[in-house]
Amino acid sequence: MASTAIGSRSLLELLGEWRTDGPSYEALSDRIRLLVIDGRLLSGIRLPAERELAVQLKVSRTTVTAAYQRLREQGFAVSRQGSGTRTALPGRAASASAPTQGVLDFTKAALPAPSMMADAVRRASEQVVSLLGDTGYDTVGLPVLREAIARRYTARGLPTDADEVLVTVGAQQAIALISRALVSRGDRALIEVPTYPHAYDAIGAAGARIVTTPVSVDSRDGWDVETFESVLRRTSPSVAYVMPDFQNPTGRSMTASVRRRLLDAAAAQGTVVVADETPAELDIDRPETYPPLAASANGARVITIGSASKTMWGGLRIGWVRADRQTIRRLHAVRANMDLGTPVLDQLVVAALFESYDTVLAERRLVLARGRSAIERIVPDSFPEWNVPHVHGGLAAWVNIGAPVSSQLALAVRSEGLLITAGPRFGVDGAFERFLRIPLTRDESQVERAVAALQRAWPAASRHPMPEPGMLAAVV
């Protein structure tokens, strides 16, 4: 679980090379603000005392005092007598999650609703009438939706019954449920890096000690299987969180060989594999077709996570877990302490969309293919030194920008009307400063606007590269 305070040395590591050509207090406050925006500093964390941080940064106390004051004025910090200065997120109107009009938001790799959404909502509204006599509290999932999910898994090569499915409030709740049920405080949990940051947060919040294994856009297989096997043998983690298809943020997919070796290694150690397959069906033109990872379990215990948010619409907060019946019962028991159920109307909408799911996916693939083409053409034309990998699906490209300035660039480009997430948000300990995640979900004109903003911000940001953290080994 995240600490309620951060020491001056830990903050110094997160700050990296924060100084710029402007006033020191502005540079310091801007850097802390970015850490809060990106989620690397959670809201409510007590910052170091002014004198202590000044000594660590080798600046005057006045500089730190002015930086904290600026953060308070911007809504990113609050101070109370006797409790110091704590990080905060400003009100919705000023927050990064609600950009002002005209600001282009590239922080979310997500698609708008499909064309058949209105019809699905209409049908769901008609179907909900028959359920209005019930309480509406549903902690397992409507039978019609669980049956639709089970049919989809079966069609993809993983025979599934409805009672092997638990419907959740999005994939995020599914990850949190699994973490609470399977991870005890102090257990080790293996996770890929870079990775989906909210998964890392949820597993860490359960009290796990995180160990990591790398995924690369440059290597042939993406996953360093030797390191994966070595970490498993050395640490015997209780769970291993992986994203086998169109991994977020790299876009890589495991080969058949990688899948087999990963599952064999997990089975040998008794590690539960948590396969996040939320982007698994966002295939643009991948040469191979793979069944769900659990279909190749071969003695390994695999729990599968899915979601309607990526393929259907983010406004539908519907996720699910596919697992053996005993695990489903255990997760359901844990859920009783978290919430009172999943929205019924949303479930009916998702069930209706499953009836035309192949059409939904075809529409999604067309949008993603166009976004990929725009990125692969526009970004290299403007930044020849950047490396844009070719991905066969998923929601984003993991672009190597050639210098460790991702955080500076993400902050500087905000002044140019673009919100984008710095690479370290997907890693740990300040790694991935050489990367930006650029969504495939935007049209050509929006990509052009975004790249133009990056061009304007690049000269200032690139003058202050971060120190190289080096290749991260497994972190315990």
Q: How confident is the model at residue 18 (pLDDT cuts 50, 70, 90)?
A: confident
Q: What local confidence, expressed as pLDDT, does residue 91 receive?
A: 55
Q: What local confidence, expressed as pLDDT, does residue 141 receive?
A: 97
> Rounded to the nearest 5 degrees, what angle is found at the Cα of 414, between the Cα atoms of 411 and 416?
130
Separation between Cα atoms, residue 358 and residue 348, nearest integer Å? 18
Q: Is the preceding peptide bond at 159 cis, omega within 30 degrees of 0?
A: no
Least confident stretch, 200-204, 369-373, 456-460: 200-204
Amino acid, single-letter form, for residue 287: P
Separation between Cα atoms, residue 435 and residue 397, nearest integer Å? 10
241 pLDDT exceeds 70?
yes
Tell me the per-residue pLDDT of 390-428, one tens digit each, with 9 for 90 and over.
Answer: 999 999 999 999 998 998 899 889 989 999 999 988 987
Contact 16, 427 (CB under 8 A): no
Q: What local confidence, expressed as pLDDT, does residue 42 receive?
A: 78
Least confident stretch, 1-10, 82-91, 161-170: 1-10
Separation between Cα atoms, residue 429 and residue 35, nearest integer Å? 12
Least confident stretch, 93-102, 163-172, 408-417: 93-102
Q: Is the preceding peptide bond at 194 cis, omega within 30 degrees of 0?
A: yes
Q: How confident is the model at residue 351 (pLDDT cuts 50, 70, 90)?
A: very high
- State the pTM of this model: 0.82
97 pLDDT exceeds 50?
no
Residues 85-110, mean pLDDT to the nearest whole number: 71
Q: How confident is the model at residue 473 (pLDDT cuts 50, 70, 90)?
A: very low
Q: Which residue has the higher pLDDT, 103 or 351?
A: 351
81 pLDDT exceeds 80?
no
Tokens of 472: 């991260």
Separation between Cα atoms, residue 247 and residue 240, nearest integer Å? 14
DSSP result, 407-422: HHHHHHGGGGTEE--B
466 pLDDT exceeds 80?
no
Q: Cα 52 vs. chain centroid, distance in angstroms?
A: 33
Residues 432-440, mean pLDDT to the nearest whole number: 95
152 pLDDT exceeds 90?
yes
Of all residues in the chain, the percent with pLDDT exceeding 90 is 73
2 pLDDT exceeds 60?
no
Report the candidate in 375, 418, 422 with the shortest Cα–Cα distance to residue 396.
375
Least confident stretch, 42-46, 172-176, 301-305, 306-310: 42-46
Least confident stretch, 115-119, 175-179, 203-207, 360-364: 203-207
Q: What local confidence, expressed as pLDDT, does residue 109 receive?
A: 94
144 pLDDT exceeds 70?
yes
Q: Cα 193 vs. chain centroid, distance in angstroms?
A: 11
Separation between Cα atoms, residue 424 and residue 200, nearest integer Å? 13
Q: What local confidence, expressed as pLDDT, does residue 34 receive?
A: 81
Mean pLDDT estimate for the chain: 90
467 pLDDT exceeds 70?
no
Q: Which residue has the higher pLDDT, 81 or 156?
A: 156
Q: Which residue has the higher pLDDT, 331 or 22?
A: 331
For the ranges 30-34, 91-95, 455-459, the one whose mean pLDDT is highest? 455-459
Q: How confident is the model at residue 472 (pLDDT cuts 50, 70, 90)?
A: very low
Report the candidate in 141, 461, 457, 157 with the shortest Cα–Cα distance to residue 318.
141
Chain length of the chain: 476
Contact 194, 243 (CB under 8 A): no
Residues 122-146, mean pLDDT to the nearest whole number: 95
Instruction: Map out the domains of the chain with their CATH numbers.
Output: 8-94 (1.10.10.10), 104-114+359-461 (3.90.1150.10), 117-355 (3.40.640.10)
Q: Which residue has the higher pLDDT, 301 or 217?
A: 301
